[in-house]
Amino acid sequence: MEVDRRALCANVKTSKEFKVIDRVAIRLPDATFPLEILPSLTTIRGTSGEGVAGDFKGFRVAQWENAVTIKGSLGKYLNGDNFQTLSREGVREALTRIEDETGLPLRDARVFQLETGFTFPVTKPPREFLAAWYSFGHYQKNVFNSGETVELSLKSHRRHFIGYDKGAEAGKLPADYPAPYALRLELSDRSGVGEILGEALSPWALCTDEVYNALRARFQKFYFRIPKRREAISMKGIIAKPSQFFDTMALIGLQAYGMDNALAFVSEAQRRGEIEKRAATRIRT
């Protein structure tokens, strides 16, 4: 598994080898969507008041009194699926097609939600990589589907980084896929997109070298901030006295038990009043 992990890290580090743009949510003020091209409409209510919504080729479109919002995967719209994310050229092609089909001037729109990510070919089940992730800073680890999906999320859910088995989600791998498994990593910003680079972003800004490369570097940086501590422990050369032997054996036992299980046990003991808050904090750190 170590060879696989090094290869994954190398792929994430490679600055120009992978594409990162997928899902976006944009708001276009003082605009009218051609509702006649939507197959059906439903009435909706939100912070912008009352409006109508419908589906447009994988996007969710909402027409409000003073704006249009469009949410969905640019990759799925352009390629029929979002197994792989889009390059700058792919984003440009998708935006051009949307403008041609709707007549909307997307240069006047602003991105208010954004997802960057990539699907990595791996030779081991994705859950083996995801099991090595741990919470850090304000990001809490959440595990779903028996470890098949792992999320690191802010308490506010404003931002999260998620990893999962893309092949299992898609139902099958592409016929020419170069590995038996596909690990999908995604960094999603559900709000505050304008704060990422210090300015509001037009969808077309995602095609520029400056913004695209900055978003890719941000994705890489986040991945390498995640603590990954499931490497094997060697006892050779580190045991000079009995206390070190017992510490090493305790660490090996903790790895076998699983850090997630151990932290859950501490939290449950604290909830029952068996461990004081201060002691629980010391155990976690």
- Rounded Cα distance between 283 and 267, Å, is 10
Could you tell me which residues come within 8 angstroms of residue 67 by beta carbon, excluding any fewer than 6 positions away? Answer: 27, 28, 29, 30, 31, 48
Domains of the chain by residue range: 2-23+75-100+113-225, 242-284
- The Cα 85–Cα 21 span in angstroms is 5
pLDDT per residue as tens digits for the range 105-124: 999 999 999 999 999 999 99
> How many helices (H) does the chain have, and how many strands (E)?
9, 10
pLDDT of residue 147: 87
Tokens of 42: 């439903």
Low pLDDT (below 50) residues in the chain: 1-3, 15, 231-233
Which pLDDT score is estimated for 128? Answer: 87
Rounded to two decimals, what is the model's pTM? 0.76
- Structure confidence by residue, pLDDT tens digits, 221-238: 999 999 886 544 455 555
Distance CA 225, CA 135 (A): 10
Tally Cβ neighbours within 10 Å of residue 102.
20
Give pLDDT, residue 276.
Answer: 87
Check residue 7 and give its pLDDT: 53
Tokens (6 digits) for 276: 């004081």
